[in-house]
Amino acid sequence: MADKYNFRGLIIPLATPYLENGDLDTEILEELVEFYISKGVHGFFALGSFGMGAATPVEQRKKVAEVVIKTTKHRVPTMIQIGAVDPYTSIELGKHARSVGAEAVAMVGPYYYSDRTEWEIVEHYKMVDREVGMPMLVYNNPAYSGYDISASMMAQLKEAVPNIFGSKLADGNLGQAQRYMRKLSDFSIFIPAQNLFPGMLVGIKGSISPPLASYPELGVSLIKAIDDRDWNTATALQVKLYEYASLRGSFSSKYGRSVFTETMRMRGIAVKRYPRWPTKPWTDEDREAMKRGFQKVGMPL
């Protein structure tokens, strides 16, 4: 089926903010949604890996979905990621996402038991779709699911579940995306932001990019330049994105996901805890070094 809601461009993977005791911080979640909409993002992807879906209890996942949909007021479309180790949990989450008005669901392949056969994985998706019946994006994240969904297997999935409209290739590159496109028609593919230009010129729909959750303006500006066919600006912005991602990665390797916490605090949003587990304390020197580096690549801090 076609992507009914035209998910395209920079789809922000929402980080789920927590209080120090591990409960949801719904006030900050609402603030994050409004922040991203004010920056011109094109949609949301909630409760994926960056959104701590697998680390968040079912009732909290439902609350996140409710808060996000209520706050967006459908100004941009939202996908709720419902993947779980078993199909019954995904069905419960999918029915809830449908009831609160999500435009689509996304689903990582069933994880932990990564020795599942292809038949079992396909049946898992079919079982969830029969009960949920919504547009579905397949989240192909082999680092977390334990297996890759090849282009041939994705074609098999799409034939079995016509509601599947696309895929996020978590670690994908342009070559992998093109293999998908040769196997599948009318199919939306999202790859890491480092491949947006020239990826969008050959059929990539956009990116669901965790790094750009701290600097959405960069991705929005890059996509506008591509759409305007302003190749000089697009080239300069893509180079800036490489520089930004490299800098961010250097701190992520030391401090993990708390890079998001520190950057959003710099941007004026008082995230109390992210991720949902303890992280290494930052030194003042590293915090200042990251701030200087991000200012150098244009992040408004």
Active site residues: 139, 168
Cα–Cα distances in angstroms (integers) from residue 284 to residues 102, 289, 291, in the given order: 41, 9, 11
- Who's near 194: CB < 8 A, 6+ residues apart? 238, 241, 242, 245
Which position has the token pair 């998706």? Answer: 125
For 109, other C-beta atoms within 10 Å of its C-beta total: 23
Contact 218, 247 (CB under 8 A): no
Distance, CA of 42 to CA of 147 (rounded, Å): 29
- Alpha carbon 296 to its chain centroid, in Å, reads 26
DSSP result, 191-251: --GGGHHHHGGGT--EE--SGGGS-HHHHHHHHHHHHTT-HHHHHHHHHHHHHHHHHHHHH
Angle CA 89–111–157, to nearest 5: 85
Give the count of alpha carbons within 13 A of 60, CB side only.
19
Cα–Cα distance between 80 and 66 in angstroms, integer?
Answer: 10
